[in-house]
Structure 1
Amino acid sequence: MKDGSSRRRFRRIAIGAAVVVALAAMNGPALYRFGSEQYHEYKINKPEYKAANGKWDIIEFPAEFKQNTIHAALLHTGKILLVAGSGNDQQNFDDKKFDTRLWDPVKNTIKKIPTPKDLFCTGHTQLSNGNLLIAGGTKRYEKLKGDVTKAGGLMVVHNENPDKPITLPAGTKFTGKTNGNTFTSKDPVVVERAEKVFDPDTGEFLRNDPGLGRIYVEAQKSGAQYETGTQDNYRVQGLSGADARNTYGMAEKLALDKKDFQGIRDAFEFDPVAEKYIQVDPMKEARWYPTLTTLSDGKVLSLSGLDEIGQLVPGKNEVFDPETRTWEYTEGIRQFPTYPAISLMQNGKLFYSGSNAGYGPDDVGRDPGIWDLETNKFRKLPGMSDPKLLETSGTVLLPPAQDEKYMVIGGGGVGESQESSKKTRIVDLQADDPKFVDGPELEKGTRYPQSSILPDDTVLVSGGSEDYRGRGGSNIHQARLYDPKANSFRKVADPLVGRNYHSGSLLLPDGRVMFFGSDSLYADKANTKPGVFEQRIEMYTPPYLYRDSRPSLSGGPKTVERGASAKFTSQQASTLKTARLIRPSASTHVTDVDQRSIALDMKKSKDSITVTVPESRNLVESGWYMLFVTDADGTPSKAQWVKVP
C-alpha cells in the first residue's frame, strides 16, 4: 500500500509539474513581462535610485477638470494656467466649447476659467505687471483637400484712391474679368488709401502705390468647374463711380486645395489675482501659431503666424505696449516660420535660433541669426549642423543667462517629414564671431524635445518623438540632465508618459518640473488607430530633492530694483553656493522664450544672505521671478517670488 501510494503521489506531482511547465510555456512572455514590470517598479522606488535619477509621478485630474492642454504658464501666485481653447477638437470649436483650467499644485485645487475665444495655438508671454499676455488663436480649423467643396483662396484687394480708404463688407462679390467666375468674401476688409510717390530729387509726382487688403473668398457654388488656374483681375460688384474705377481684386489660383487654419486678432491679459481674462486691443494682424517676445523697453513683439485667411503673415510684425494696451507695427518687413524661437539678447538685439513649429516656406526665414529690430538687418550665424532639421527643435538659454549660450536640441524635417536629428548645437553669442558648434548627441533623433532649466544650473531634456507627432509609436521615453560646465548629458529616470506634439514643461517653485499634453497622430505602431490626446499631468522630482535636507529661504522684500541688493533669511546661509532668479515659463509647441536663469552676486552672513540684481534691463526683464538658492551639493531651496520693476 505504501509503495502504491508513493507511486500515485509521484504521478500527481509529475502531472502538476508538467502543467506548470506547459502554462509557463504558454504564458512565459506575460509572466516575464509582469515580473519585469514588478522589478522595475521596485527598482525605481528604491531611495538610492531616486537619489541618483529622480522620480516621475502621474497626476490624474478628476474627470470634470480634464482637458486637452495645449498651453501652460506658471503664474506669480504659484498657480498654473492650463489653456486648451478648443483643444485641437473641431467639435469643441463648432460648439464654441473653449476651456482653461487654473491649478494650484500645492493645494491641488482646480478651477474652471471662462474662456472668451478659441485660444488654441495662441502666443503668450509674462508681462512686467505679473499678468500673462495672450494673443491670437483659432478662427477656423483646417480643411483637408477631400473636404473642400468650394474653390477658394486669397484675394488681394487694391485701392488706388489716395484720398480715402475703402471698406468692403462680408459677402462682397468679386467677378473675374477673364474667367468670369464669381467669388464671395467671408469677412469684411478695410483697404487703406493709396500712397502718393514723389521723386526724392525733384519732388515730381511719380505714381500712386495702391493700398492693399487681404481676404479669403470662395466660389458661390460647389464643384471643380469653378476652380481657376491662373492670375486674374476681379471686378468688385456693388461699387460705382470712382470707387469702381479705383478698387479691384487680384487672385492667383482659387482651388479645391487644402485650406489651412485661420488666426484671430484678439488679445487678452490673464490676471492671476482676479483669475480672469481681460480683453485688450486686438493685434493689427490675425495670428495662429505666433511667438511673443519681450523687448528692451518692456514692450512685447508679436511675430509670424497664419492670418485670417490661412496664409503666413507676410512679415508684418507688431509691438504691444503694456501701458496703453495697444499694438503698433514695427518698421520693415521680416518673415519667419510659425512659432519662431526668438529671444532678447543682452545688447538689445534679437537672437533667432532657427527653431520653429511648422508652417511657412522651407526656404524663407529659417536661417538662424541675429536680428536688429531697429534697422531690420539680419546677420546669419554659421555652423548649424542638420540645418534642414530645425522644425520642431527645442531652444534653451543655458544657465546662467549672463553667459549668453544657447542650445538647439534635435528637430525634424519641414512638415510631416519622417526625418529627425540627434544633434544638439551650442552658440556663444558673446564670442567675437559667434557660430554654432555641436554639443553632445541625443541617443535618438528627436522632434518636440522639452527642456527646463533647473536651479542647480542643469537642464532637464525629456520626451519628444523620432517621427512626426509620434507616428509609428516613436515616442521617446527618456530623460537626460545636461550640465553646461561639463557639456555632457547624464541619463536619469525614464518618464512614464510619451510626449510629442502639443506638449510642454514648466519648472515649479518647489524645484519639481511639470509636464503636460501630447497629441499623437496614431495610437499604435502600425498607424491604424487614431491617436488620443494625453490629458494626464506628469511631475518629475529631480535627484536633488531626495537628499537629506534642503536650504531654507524666507523673508526679504517682494520687490527689488535692478542694481539693488536685498537681504533674505536662511539658516544654512554659510553653506550656500549660488543664487538664481528664474523667470517663470510660458510653454507651448516646443517654444518657451521666457525661460532664463540669472546668476546673482551673493554675500553670506551667519543666518542671512544679501543678493544683488544685475543692472541690465536686457538681461533682467521686468516682471516676477523665482529666487532660488542652492548649497554646495546643488540642492535648491524652495523659491521666493521677487518682482523686478
Structure 2
Amino acid sequence: MRAKTRRYRQIALVVVAAAVLLGVNVPPAVAYVQEWRHERLINSPEYKAQYGHWDTVEVPPDSRVNSIHAALLNDGKVLLIAGSGNKEDMFATKALKSMIYDPATGASKMIPVPDDMFCGGQTVLPDGRLLFAGGTQRYEKLDGAVTNAAGAMRIKNENPNAPRFLPAGTEFTAPSGQKYRSDFDTTVPPALKIGTGARTKVTSSEEKVFVEAEQPGPQAVNGNRDKYAISGLDPADAKNLYGLGEPMTLDKQDYQGTNKAYTFDPKTEQWSEVPNMNQSRWYPTLTPLSDGNVLTVAGLDNVGQVINGQTEEYDPRTNTWIDRKDLNQYFPTYPALFETETPHQMVYTGATAGYGPSDKGRIPGFWNIDNNQFTPIPGLRDPELLETAGSAFIGPVQDQRMAVVGGGGVGESPISTARIDYLNLKDPAPHFTPGPNLAQPTRYPNLVNMPDDSTFITNGSLDYRGKGATNNHLAYSLDPTTNQLTPMADPNIGRDYHTEALLLPDGRVLVAGSDPLFDDEKNTIPGTFEQRIEIFTPPYLEKGTPRPTITSAPPTMPRGQNFDIPTPDGNRIAKARLVRTATATHVTTTDMRDVALPMQKTPDGVSVTVPPEPTITPPGPYMLFLVDDKGVPSMAKIVDVP
C-alpha cells in the first residue's frame, strides 16, 4: 500500500512540475492532484470508520435496466424493475425489462416482464412473492404534440341482464357527426336491478374509456358533455348502451394506468398473472396490512385522471381483489401510507409523488379503514412542500415514531425544503415536531431502516428532477434516540427522480436508478438514465471489529414465540432485530420496518421473542440481525413471520 501511495505521489509531482515548466495545463494538473488526494482520503481506514464508503457497480451492458422499482427478495437478491423505463420507444416495441442482481456475488440476470410495469405499485406478500399492480397503459402526450382531439368517454349500460364487451376501436358518434374511437377493450357490467313489477328500479352501470377523434384537427374539439351513439349496435341495444362524452380537447394528455396485476416468485424467478384490479392505476401505493391483505389506493386511471378515492384490497389467500366501496379517500399519486400499531388505523404522512392538485388530499392524517374516518394531523412545517418527500418509521417500530424528510412544491416547482419533522403516534394528541434540518433543501431523499436502529438518508436534488445540475451527492445517518443527523460519505453518483434504496442482508445499502430531466447546468441536454448501482458500506462495518455471527436460525418465526439463536458471540450481543425485506419506488417505501426483539442471553447464544402483535410484525419475510455492543450487525438470516 505504501509503495502504491508513493507511486501516486511521484506521478502527481512529475505532472505538476512539467506543467509549471511548460506554463500550460496547470488547472488540469491541480485537478488531478485534488482528485488523487480526495480518493486517498475517502479510501483511508480512518475516513471509512467514521463516514463509511461507497462502491460503484458497473452492470454488464446486457443486464442494464432503467430501474424504476426495487425489491429485496427472500433469497437476498434484488429485483430491479424497469418495464419500459420511461422510454416510449421501449413501450412501443414491448421491450420490457426487469433484472435480478445478487449483491453477494455480483451476478445479474435479465427477466422479461409480461406487461409495462413502469410506474405501478409493489409490495412483498406474506409468502415471499412480490405483488406488482398497475403500470402504463398509454404514454403521455405533451402540449403541442396532440393532433387528434381526445378525452374520456363514460359508457353507460342500462341493460340489467348482461355485461357488454366493446373492443378497442369501437366507434362513438357525437351529435355533430364527429366520430371517435376507443383505444382499449372495455367491458361494461350489467345495470343494477332492484325490486319487481312497478317497484323495479334500474341503475345503469358505467365504465370509462379513452377515445380519440378519427380525423386530426380542431374541428373535433368538443367542450360539451354530449350523448354519443355507439356504432354497430342493433336498435334494441342502442337504447341501453351509449356514451356520455367528457370534453374532447387538444390539451396535454397524461399517462394512463392499467388494471393488470402480477406476482414474481423468487424460487422460480418467473412472473405470473393474477386477476385484474377493479381499477386501473398508474402511480398507486400498495401497503401491506397486518391481516396479510394489501391495501391499494390512488393513481391515474385508464383515461389519465387522478383516481377519485376508490380503494381496493388484494387477498393473497383467495387471489382476489376486494372492491372497498365503503372506503373512499382521495389521495394524490403515490401517497405514503402506513398501518399503525392500532389494527386498520392507517397514517398518511402527506408525502406523495407526481400528480394531483395542490389543494386536495395533501393534509397528513389518520385514516380508519374500518369506518373511513379521516383525522388530520397538525404541526408539519412547510406543509405545502410534501411532494417528493421521504417518510418512514424511525427506530424500532414499537416506538411508533415517524419522520418526514425533505420534499418540494407540487409539479415542476423549483422550491424544496430541508425539513425533517417527527411524528410520535403514541402521543395522546399526535402532532408533528421539528427535527434537525438537512444540509440543503432536498427533493427525492431515500430513507432506509438500518439494523442498528438508525435511519440512512441518501441522495436527492435541490430542484425538480435535478434541474440545473442540482443533485446533492449527500448522505446522512439519523439517530432517532439522540435526534442527531450525522453526515456520511458522499455518494459518487448524483441521484434524483426514479431512485431506490434498500437494506441488504449483509448490512450494506444498495442504491439504484435516477432519471434527471437534463444532464447539464443550463438545462439544454436531455437527461440520461443512471444505470449504475452503488452500494454503501456503513461505518459499523469499517471499524475493524469482527462481525458477530448467527450459527443458525429457524426458517419460520411465528409471533409471540421464543427462539434460541445460537452464536459464538453471545456475550457481546446487545440487541436483536427483524428488518422487513422492503420494496421502493418514487421515494415511497411503505413495507419497511425495524422490529426490536426482546432478548435474553443463553449458554449457546441468545433467546429472542417475536412480538405478538400483527401490526408490529405483519406477515412476510424479515432479515434477522444480531447487533453487538459496538453497533456492529451480523450477516442476516432471512426468516418468515407467518
TM-score class, shorter-chain normalisation, is: over 0.9
Q: Deviations over 1:25-77 (max 9, x none)?
A: x4333222222111111111111110000001101011111121111111111
Q: How high is the sequence identity, in percent, across the aligned residues?
A: 45
Bigger shift: 293-302 or 165-174?
A: 165-174
The 8 Å contact of residues 574 and 606 in structure 1, kept in 2 or not, is answered as: no
| Residue 387 of structure 2 corresponds to residue 391 of structure 1 | yes
Query: Which residue in 2 is equivalent to 1:592?
Result: 589
Equivalent pair of 2:19/2:25 in contact (CA under 8 Å): no
**Corresponding residue number in structure 1 for 2:300:** 306
Match of 1:421, SS?
A: coil
Could you tell me which amino acid in structure 2 is paired with residue 424 of structure 1? I
In structure 1, the residue matched to 2:416 is: 420
Q: 117, 141, 146: which one pairs with 1:148?
A: 146
- CA shift at 1:352, angstroms? 0.9
Helix, strand or coil for the counterpart of 1:561? Answer: coil
Where do residues 184-223 of structure 1 align in structure 2 (5 Å cutoff)?
184-195=181-192, 205=199, 208-223=202-217
Q: Give the secondary structure class of the aligned counterpart of 1:94.
A: helix
Give the counterpart letter for 1:278 in structure 2.
S
Q: Within 1, Cα distance between the matches of 2:44 and 2:629?
A: 25
Matched to 1:605, the amino acid is T
Contact in 2 for aligned 1:70/1:121 (Cα 8 Å): yes
- Paired residues for 1:170-569 under 5 Å: 170-177=168-175, 179-195=176-192, 205=199, 208-330=202-324, 331-348=326-343, 349-547=345-543, 548-569=545-566
Runs of 4+ in 1 over 4 A off after TM superposition: 17-24, 203-208
Q: Deviations over 1:525-554 (max 9, x none)?
A: 011111111000001000000122121112
What's the CA shift for 1:94? 1.2
Q: Deviation string for 1:600-631 (max 9, x for gaps)?
A: 00001243100000000111011111011111
Residue 110 (structure 1) aligned with residue 105 (structure 2) = no
The 3-state SS of whatever aligns with 1:113 is: strand
Superposed CA RMSD:
2.0
SS in 2 for 1:332: strand
Cα separation, 2, equivalents of 1:120 and 1:20: 51
1:299-327, Cα deviation, whole Å (9 max, x unpaired)? 11121112222222232211111112111
* Deviations 1:152-172 (CA, angstroms, capped at 9, x unpaired): 011112233444443333222
> Given that residues 280 and 301 in structure 2 are in contact (C-alpha distance below 8 angstroms), is that contact kept between their aligned partners in structure 1?
yes
Deviations 1:257-304 (A, max 9, x none): 111112222211111111111211111112111111112310111211
TM-aligned CA deviation for residue 195 of structure 1? 3.6
Q: Which residue of 2 aligns with 1:638?
A: 635
TM-score (norm 1): 0.93
- Deviations along 1:395-421, one digit per CA (max 9) or x if unpaired, are 111110001111111111111111111
Q: Could you list the runs of 5+ residues in structure 2 that have no partner in the other structure?
A: 1-15
The answer as to whether partners of 2:20 and 2:26 remain within 8 angstroms in 1 is no
State TM-score, norm by structure 2.
0.94
Partner of 1:4: none
Tell which deviates more after alignment, 469-478 or 317-326. 317-326
What does 1:116-155 align with in structure 2 at a 5 Å threshold?
116-155=114-153
Stretch of structure 1 that moved more, 82-91 or 46-55: 82-91
Larger radius of gyration: 1
Q: Which residue of 1 aligns with 2:46?
A: 48
Deviations along 1:478-529, one digit per CA (max 9) or x if unpaired, are 1110000111201111110001001110100110000000001100001111
CA contact (8 A) 2:290 2:617 kept: no
Q: CA deviation at 1:635?
A: 0.9
Q: Is the 8 A contact 1:523 1:531 kept in 2?
A: yes
AA in 2 matched with 1:100: S
Q: What CA deviation, in whole Å up to 9, does each residue of 1:534-577 have, x standing for no partner?
A: 00000100000012212111213111110001111122211111
SS at match of 2:237: helix
Q: 1:431 to 1:206 in 2, by over 3 A?
A: farther
Asked if the contact 1:136–1:263 (Cα under 8 Å) also holds between the matched residues in 2, the reply is yes
> Aligned in 2, Cα 1:20/1:443: closer, same or farther, shift over 3 Å?
closer
Which letter maps to 1:64?
D
Q: Is the 8 A contact 1:196 1:205 kept in 2?
A: no
Contact 1:503 1:515 in 2 (8 A): yes
Distance 2:290 2:475 in 1: 34
Structure 1 residues 165 and 115: alpha-carbon distance in aligned structure 2, compared to 1, 3 A threshold: closer
Distance change >3 Å, CA 242–CA 374, structure 1 → 2: farther
Indicate yes or no: 2:569 matched with 1:572.
yes
